[in-house]
Structure 1
Amino acid sequence: MRIDRPRLHDPVLAVAVAIVSVVLHTLDDPLIPTSGGLRPPDALGVTLVAVTGVPVAFRRRWPLAALCASLVPGLLLTMAGYGAGVPGLAGLVLLYSVASHRGLAMALGGLLVSLSAYALGATAGPVRLAAWTDHVAVVIVVTAVWGAGRSLRLRRAYLEELKDRAARLERAHAADTRAARAEERSRIARELHDVVAHHVSVMIVQAAAARRVLAADPGLAGEALSAIEHTGRTAMAEMRTIVGVLRADARAELGPQPGVRDLPALVEQMREAGLPVRLLVEGEPRALPAGVDLAAYRLVQEGLTNSLRHAGAGAGATVTVRHKPRELDVRVEDDGTGGTAGDPSSGQGHGLVGIRERVALYGGILSIGPLPGGGFEVRARFPLKDGE
């Protein structure tokens, strides 16, 4: 069972306020000069003073109602000649509670009720304060108590806003972290797919060729097996580089990423796998941004792998790289039977997704699909800034 400690303390505070108010009532207070004598304390006065402290027990739940309830016996005290209308201790405590626990409109209402009750008691009661400056002092004290309550509420609201802002920033940071991790996973998945799909496709083709010629020409089969071994080692080296980035307890052996300059080696590898490939480079080669350079290489790699797998027997491919003043145009086309359900033209598989993400990342334009006269094309145009 959970105990609400602040509300448990309010009855204790009410008893303390009632006791202190009764003590002050029974003593002559030199701080409140009056123009006439006060009615001496008696049972009725002590009872009314004690009753003014009872509503303090409800100051958090119904602060404005408690204030009004406390002002009623206070007015009766003034009308009976026990005081000069000066707000008692209970009234000040309840006014502070209204200002610190309720909104501005209700807080202003509490201040207005307190000042109105004081004005009514000061004008209608039989006892008057000695000078008008005493009225000003009372108004200042009441307003100061109200202002202290409002300051506490504003400070509490400010602290809550700081907590909410910190919570929002923490949630935003967590969301950014998740997005960054997702993007990094996507990038690594693209790299792994491009490396694995390309090299495994080449190895499958070479293994099939070795199996066909194993009995008739063992020497040629041995060359195919050597090519498979070389391709496998290359794939393992690239995968080790990529996976090494993910390991926190080991330092990855970072090497230069492949780029357009490595296309001749890629074309030669595809020729060894059985796909006739021509490489055409037009324009003046120049240094490219690292991201564009890698994206162009991966696009050619994916396009040639697609041709190797789906173009059919006897098909050839052409890789064209055009260096333009403000654009890099990369094109892979073959003269085979065209796309199938497993290639990028069908909109399935990670190959198309990876290519589209790479090209879109650098603001490029991508076109993938069959050619009108037969064959298949993968083409991307990357915009380049001046000086790149």
Structure 2
Amino acid sequence: MRRFSLWLRDRPLVADSMLALALLAIDVLAMGESKSKITYLVFSVLLPLPIIFRRTYPRAAALAVFLISTCATVVHWGFLDESVHPALLGLGIMLYTLVAYVGRREGLAYVVALIVDGVLARWLIHTPDGNDLAFTVLFYALCWTFAEFVGARHAYDTEVAARLAVADYDRERRAHDAVAAERTRIARELHDVVAHAVSVIIVQADGARYALRHDPDTAEKAMTTIAGTGREALRELRRTVALLRSEHAPEELPQHGTAGIAKLVDMMRSAGLQVSLELTGEIDAVTPEVSLGIHRIVQESLTNTLRHAGPDPRAEVRVARREEDILIEVVDSGAPVARLGTIDPPGPNNRIPGSGLGLVGMRERMAVLGGTLSTGRRPDGGWSVRATIPLRRIPDE
């Protein structure tokens, strides 16, 4: 029965047609008291007919029932027929429909029209007592009250549906944002690993190619650096991919620390970059996220120096732990060529074309860590990268 009720709720024309047939059947059963049965039968069919469309076209259906009711009153008066149509219950049904599905203003206007129709009927047909009047008033009052209840229920259902729609949209948006953030995280990590290793390998490969015939020892050293850089990059890629497969594993992040920075600086020195390193404070006693952030900022800055600073590049790296944050400064000798975010023009100082993603990746990483990043050319022509990472996530020591 409940399944049938739900089926009818989704098919208002079917349900209202059944209601109209019920009114027709009741009206036909009362036809015996009529003096003009043909006329009575015609109105028995016409009165319930608009009920079929009461929810599809509520205003038009309500007006049609009212006009047919008024015509029935006048026609029966002409035949001196005082018989009553039980199908006139449709007036109350339409009052309920207007209040529940359209609004109180339309319902109030319909009540006024029903009062006029009732006065006309009593004046023409001369009903002998007030019993029918009391029943009519009570019936219309019940119809209005029930319509208020149903209207409130519809408003509640509409509000719930709207909130569910908003919740679904928010859930889809959050899922989309999560996917986009994850893709950005993966791209940032892979770029930091691959771009650094490939830059070192290209520089060393170019050096080995020129030194192969005239300085085999230098070429062999360059090839050794290439092999070591490649193996280190492969290990880093494997570790990064393993971490990216885990949803929540910050404790598994690599703790690079001062040893990792020193190793990175040595690798860049072997690639031909003159680097001075200054470490201050307990840099090893930070969380893995901060440690990785320090390492990546230094790595990307030195990689860009190697790419863009021309021949005989020099860089100074300073990492200091202060009371509330970690300060990272990387300053290089600079060169009159395009820097981060562009591709170098051809020329004697040209090193390796940049992808334009290094600076973007550093800014994204600082945004995740809640830090700040500033980059730019210095007055002496050098290039400066300055980053601060807050220590609010570092546990008490």
Partner AA of 2:114 in structure 1: S
Label 1:73 to 1:292 Cα distance change in 2 as closer, same or farther (>3 A): same
| Structure 1 counterpart of 2:378 | 371
Is the partner of 1:88 in helix, strand or coil? helix
Check whether the contact 2:287–2:394 (CA below 8 A) recurs between aligned residues.
Answer: no
Post-superposition offset of 1:387: 6.3
Gaps of 5+ in 2: 1-9, 344-353
Farther off after superposition, 143-152 or 274-283: 143-152
Listed one character per residue, the Cα deviations across residues 254-308 of structure 1 (whole Å, up to 9, x for unaligned) are 6525355521111111112121211112345463344333222211111111122
Aligned with 1:337 (options 319, 335, 338): 335
RMSD (Å) for aligned C-alpha atoms: 3.5
Q: How many residues align?
A: 367
Listed one character per residue, the Cα deviations across residues 230-276 of structure 1 (whole Å, up to 9, x for unaligned) are 1101111112233345669xx9xx65253555211111111121212
TM-score (norm 1): 0.80
Label 1:366 to 1:58 Cα distance change in 2 as closer, same or farther (>3 A): closer
Instruction: Name the CA distance, whole Å, in 1 between partners of 2:98 and 2:27.
Output: 20
Check whether the contact 2:17–2:51 (CA below 8 A) recurs between aligned residues.
Answer: yes
TM-score (norm 2): 0.78
| Structure 2 counterpart of 1:361 | 368
Aligned with 1:155 (options 153, 156, 168): 153
Post-superposition offset of 1:139: 1.6
Aligned with 1:23 (options 29, 41, 50): 29
| Structure 1 counterpart of 2:40 | 46
Is the partner of 2:30 in helix, strand or coil? helix
Is the partner of 1:337 in helix, strand or coil? coil
Instruction: Name the CA distance, whole Å, in 2 between partners of 1:154 and 1:361.
Output: 47
Listed one character per residue, the Cα deviations across residues 17-46 of structure 1 (whole Å, up to 9, x for unaligned) are 23421322536xxxxxxxxxxxx6444772
Label 1:330 to 1:374 Cα distance change in 2 as closer, same or farther (>3 A): same
Aligned with 1:189 (options 187, 206, 214): 187
Instruction: Name the CA distance, whole Å, in 1 between partners of 2:41 and 2:271.
Output: 107
Gaps of 5+ in 1: 28-39
Instruction: Name the CA distance, whole Å, in 2 between partners of 1:276 and 1:11.
Output: 90
Check whether the contact 2:201–2:229 (CA below 8 A) recurs between aligned residues.
Answer: yes
Label 1:345 to 1:362 Cα distance change in 2 as closer, same or farther (>3 A): farther
Post-superposition offset of 1:204: 1.7
Within the alignment, does 1:56 sit opposite 2:51 as a pair?
A: yes
Label 1:138 to 1:259 Cα distance change in 2 as closer, same or farther (>3 A): farther
Check whether the contact 2:342–2:356 (CA below 8 A) recurs between aligned residues.
Answer: no
Within the alignment, does 1:128 sit opposite 2:134 as a pair?
A: no
Is the partner of 1:349 in helix, strand or coil? coil
Post-superposition offset of 1:87: 8.2
Is the partner of 1:89 in helix, strand or coil? helix
| Structure 2 counterpart of 1:264 | 262
Listed one character per residue, the Cα deviations across residues 44-87 of structure 1 (whole Å, up to 9, x for unaligned) are 77257525344435534212212321330454378556158998
Within the alignment, does 1:307 sit opposite 2:305 as a pair?
A: yes
Farther off after superposition, 113-122 or 315-324: 113-122
Listed one character per residue, the Cα deviations across residues 181-214 of structure 1 (whole Å, up to 9, x for unaligned) are 1111111111111111111111122223333333
Instruction: Name the CA distance, whole Å, in 2 between partners of 1:55 and 1:345.
Output: 73
Label 1:361 to 1:247 Cα distance change in 2 as closer, same or farther (>3 A): closer
Partner AA of 1:321 in structure 2: V
| Structure 2 counterpart of 1:349 | 356
| Structure 1 counterpart of 2:106 | 106
Consecutive aligned runs of 4 or more in structure 1 exceeding 4 Å deviation: 4-16, 77-81, 83-87, 122-125, 245-248, 344-348
